[in-house]
Amino acid sequence: MTPVSFIGAYIVDIVVGDPRWLPHPVVMMGKLIRFLENRICRFSLADGNNSSIPPLTKGGLGGILPLLKGDKGGFIDKKKGGIILWFAVVISAYFVTLAIVEGSFFINFLFGMIISVLIASLTLATRSLYDESKTVIDSLNRGNIEEARKNLSMIVGRDTENLDEKEILRAVIETVSENLSDGIVAPLFYLAIGGPPLAMTYKAVNTLDSMVGYKNERYRDIGWFSAKMDDIFNWIPARLTGALIVIASFILRYNWRDSWKIMIRDGRKHSSPNSGIPEAAVAGSLSIQLGGKIQYFGEVADKPTIGDKIKETDKEDVKKAWIIMFASSFLMAVACITVLWMV
């Protein structure tokens, strides 16, 4: 990835975002993940009873079938299926992207640059994260809390049907904080070190975690590997994000000292080894408290609180979170471009 194409991708993301008319790679990844998940679950036998394997599958897989047998003699178990699912999606994302980019450059250098910039921009989510979270706040400003809950459900995994305004604001700030790492800093990081193929690979890793990386009954087995690999891929970017939030808070004259203090104190409270770090840094910067009780799929999860409740969360805090997001995004982009030019 050249510095010029990196700058181009960053600008395209900020200005254009994700056009509705353009098929997004994450949507296609989602369809592939769901397809493979359904097939793996269909052929997973906890009791080792081969009778439920369709006859066509028995004959069609032939000699491959014994290699995929579970510990109890049945067809593949869900944990092994989760590993196969991860590698199938991630490897496909890398090599399909690599083929498109290399094929574009083979046709014409300028065409290759354009395609490379376009694909790279689709791995970033600065503009879309702002736009999608803003729709929630716009609904609240119109006094339509039902619409705000519906719009919020599009960008968070928690149940939103019964949230009040304060809980909605908290959820928006949490998702902006977490996705600052997952949707902006991490893709920029992988884009800088491996170009569009590696950045798209990261998007596949992140999409797998967001779709199957839950600890409920349905996904506990098939999604465990995806969740672990997402933790590994996000370990460095999450810590970079925390540092960027503190620096941005200093530049913006927010509470950067508490941003650092709360990040160090509460960053590891989250069940994820990574998500709590940017959330804690933002909570400290804004002097608010995040976390607490959240409902997923009808089950209440009592998450630890992050930050000190020095003040109540309000709409101004969401605006400040957006400013922190854009500032941190810009700082990360400058750092990556500098490294690319030096290399």
Measured distance CA(272)–CA(301) in Å, rounded: 14
Domain containing residue 230: 3-342
Residue 343 pLDDT exceeds 90: no
**pLDDT of 67:** 42
Q: Once rounded to an integer, what is the mean pLDDT over residues 298-309?
A: 82
- Label residue 58 by pLDDT band (50, 70, 90): very low
More confident position, 21 or 81 = 81
Q: Given a cut of 50, is residue 62 above it in pLDDT? A: no
pLDDT of residue 213: 85
Q: What is the mean pLDDT of the chain?
A: 88
Give the tens place of pLDDT for each residue, 227-260: 999 999 999 999 999 999 999 999 999 999 999 9
Residue 318 and residue 334: Cα distance in Å, rounded? 24
Number of domains into which the chain is organized: 1
Question: Global pTM?
Answer: 0.88
Q: What are phi and psi of 321, to 5 degrees?
A: -65, -40
Check whether 297 has a pLDDT greater than 70: no
Distances (CA, A) of 6 to 13, 54, 178, 188: 11, 49, 23, 9
Bigger pLDDT: 48 vs 340:
340
pLDDT per residue over 93-105, tens digit each?
999 999 999 999 9
Is 126:187 a contact under the CB 8 Å cutoff?
A: no
| CA 145 to chain CA mean position, Å | 26
Gyration radius (Cα) of the chain, Å:
21
pLDDT tens for residues 273-294? 999 999 999 999 999 999 887 7
Lowest-pLDDT range of 54-58, 65-69, 276-280? 54-58
